[in-house]
Structure formats: C-alpha cells, structure tokens
Amino acid sequence: MKKIPSSLEKLSKFVGNTPLVEVTCEFQGKKVTIFVKYEAWNFSGSIKDRMALSILKSGYSCGRLQPGETIIEATSGNTGISFAAMGAFMGHPVEIYMPSWLSEERKRILRFYGAILHEITVEQGGFLKCIELAGIEGSKEGSFCPKQFENSNNPAAHLMTTAPEMERGLLKAGYADINAFVAGVGTGGTIMGFFRHFSQIMNDFQAFPVFPVNNSDGSHRIEGIGDSFVPKILSLSELGRVIRVSDSDAIAVSRNINKMGLSVGISSGANLLAAAQKAYELGPQAVVGTVFSDCNKKYLSTDLCSGSEEILSVDFKILDYKIIS
C-alpha cells in the first residue's frame, strides 16, 4: 500500500458529513416525510466529491496514480468539477470530456479551476464518445482516468460514507431507519451504494432508480442523470421499478425547495418528487430517503432560473423541513 499525499488527507476533511434534512411534503393530499442528505455542502459543491475522493485515494494507495499526473475524465459536469477542484488543490492537471449541451456554468467553473475542457457534440457522438476519448487519453503514460461509470470505488464511496452517515444521523436523532431509497441515476454510484449498505442491515430494503421522461430525441433538462446508456456499475435487476420524472416537474419542485432557502439543482427536485411518490405508494410503513445532489449555482443560465412557468403535473407540495443532524 502506497502513501496517500497529505493534500489528499486535508481534502478529506471537506468531503462528507453533510446535513441530514427531514422534509415534510403532501403528495395527493397525504402527508409524507422524506429524509435527505444535503450534498451541496461538499468541497466543490456536489455529491460527486465523495466519489472523486474515493477514486483518488484508491488510485494513490494502489500506486496507479502518481503526484503531478494528469487526471482525464468524461462527465456531465459535477464529476469534472470535483476532479478539477481537487486537481487544483493537489497539483494535478485535469482534462475533461463533456457533452456540449450542458450548462455554461459547468464549463466556466471547469476552466476557472484550470481544467482543459473538450466539448463533444451529439453529432460527434455525445456522452459515449466522451467516455471513449477519456479512456484512450487517460490510459497514456502520465495520465489517470477515474472511469466513474465502471469504477467500484464510486458506489463504494456511498456504501462507506453517504449511506452510513444517513443511518447514523437518523439513529442519533431518534428516528426509524429508512426502508426505501430513491435517487436519480447518472453513473448509478449513489443508488448502488445506498442499496448495498442498507441491504446488509435490512432484509427487504428497496431502492428505486429515477430517470427523466425523455423527449422524442432523447433530450431532457435534468442535468446529471439519464445519460442515455446503462453504466456498468448500475445493477438494475437488483433495484425496484424505475420512477420517471418529467424535467418540468423536477424544475418546479426544485424551485420550491430553493424558495424555502435550500440551494439545490434540478435533479434534487426530481429526487424529492420521486421519493414523495414512493412514500405515498408504499404507505405508512415506508421511511424513504434520498439526496439533494448539488446546489443551484450551476443552473443560473438554465430553465431552473428562467421566468418560464413549469406546471406540476401532480398534486404535490413541500410543507416544511428541518435539519435533524
């Protein structure tokens, strides 16, 4: 086992141990309670910092990653921002392959941290091309490709940190443990990590993946999830039925969360709505958990912050929330 650099140890202190929030909502006239890890409070502002830290630690400890090497990754934004910020902190150059249609803020933040950004259009092959190119470039001498879509350290980050933190937070505050979990799927790291952790301690634990309702051309406005292919680490056969959320609903719910003072992005709106729907369906026995994956700052130029009206297609409202640990 190789030595982990002290800069990476320092970084660890900025990742994880995020607030646990109890959100009370009304779905189809019925009160439901959802428990949420508020992941905007991580080093670079998203849940992906946990995965990036876990991959960098494992890269260093097995000797696959050396100081000063270039980190090259394909991403829909947050992962790239995590590696760009961590790379800047630790002295690693970073190159990012990202689909061109993602928000301007993502691109500007990546460049701001000093990363080289390669934008890939639909015509050039979109996300799958990003993964292919990052894999090729990242396998060259002096480079390291985290391969978030297939790296087991991605779900392991949530198995080892996010999910046990939720369990401990609930216990400390005197609440019952969650028996179902709902999350939007990008790489599938979050949902698989939660599923693995809670399945170890509960027999009939269920996890439900959330995907966007796609337009006829496959597009949607929930950045970070539903990347149009099934990642290797996502084991759909072990999970419950897929929940589809329209981007319009996700935006409307995300706006409501923001208006109550919690900064979140669009996928957080999808997660809360899907969790409330699942809690409603499963009935009074259900204790449902989810995550708010990132904050609103990367969405200033998107429809989240535009004046256009998004009408909720379901009877849903947020009543209140409080931080429980």
Cβ(292)–Cβ(38) below 8 Å: yes
The one segment of 10-18, 181-189, 196-204, 314-322 that binds ligand PMP by CB under 6 A:
181-189
Task: List strand residue ranges (DSSP E) for 13-88, in order.
Answer: 20-27, 30-38, 70-74
Judged by CB under 6 A, which of 18, 44, 76, 256 binds ligand PMP?
76
Cβ(225)–Cβ(104) below 8 Å: no
- Record the tokens describing residue 39, joined without a space: 């992941």
With vertex at residue 282, the alpha carbon angle to CA 277 and CA 288, rounded to the nearest 5 degrees, is 65
Distances (CA, A) of 234 to 47, 148, 151, 187, 271: 17, 11, 11, 7, 17
Residue with tokens 């979140």: 264
Judged by CB under 6 A, which of 42, 161, 190, 277 binds ligand PMP?
190
Least Å from the CB of residue 174 to ligand PMP: 29
Least Å from the CB of residue 265 to ligand PMP: 5
Length of the chain: 325
Q: Closest CB to ligand PMP belongs to which residue?
A: 224
Judged by CB under 6 A, which of 32, 109, 225, 295 binds ligand PMP?
225
The one segment of 23-31, 179-187, 236-244, 302-310 that binds ligand PMP by CB under 6 A:
179-187
The one segment of 18-26, 95-103, 105-113, 178-186 that binds ligand PMP by CB under 6 A:
178-186
50 binds ligand PMP (CB under 6 A): no
Please tell me the count of residues contacting ligand PMP according to CB under 6 A: 19
Tell me whether residue 69 or residue 254 sits nearer to ligand PMP (CB atom): 254
The 10-49 site mask, x for binding ligand PMP (CB under 6 A), equals ------------------------------------x-x-
54 binds ligand PMP (CB under 6 A): no
- Record the tokens describing residue 33, joined without a space: 């309670």
Cβ(41)–Cβ(282) below 8 Å: no
293 binds ligand PMP (CB under 6 A): yes
The one segment of 75-83, 105-113, 253-261, 279-287 that binds ligand PMP by CB under 6 A:
75-83
Least Å from the CB of residue 158 to ligand PMP: 7
- Alpha carbon distance 22, 152 (integer Å): 30
73 binds ligand PMP (CB under 6 A): no
- Record the tokens describing residue 63, joined without a space: 């000797």
> Amino acid identity of 300?
L
Cβ(191)–Cβ(183) below 8 Å: yes
188 binds ligand PMP (CB under 6 A): yes
List residues bridging with 25 in a β-sheet: 32, 318
Q: What is the DSSP string of 170-208?
A: HHHTTPPPPSEEEEE-SSSHHHHHHHHHHHHH-TT-EEE
Tell me whether residue 20 or residue 69 sits nearer to ligand PMP (CB atom): 20
**Helix, strand, or coil here: 316?**
strand
Tell me whether residue 237 or residue 285 sits nearer to ligand PMP (CB atom): 237
- Record the tokens describing residue 111, joined without a space: 């460049």
Which residue in 146, 119, 125 sits closest to 54, CA to CA?
146
* Residues at the contact surface with ligand PMP, assessed by CB under 6 A: 46, 48, 76-78, 184-190, 223-225, 265, 267, 293-294
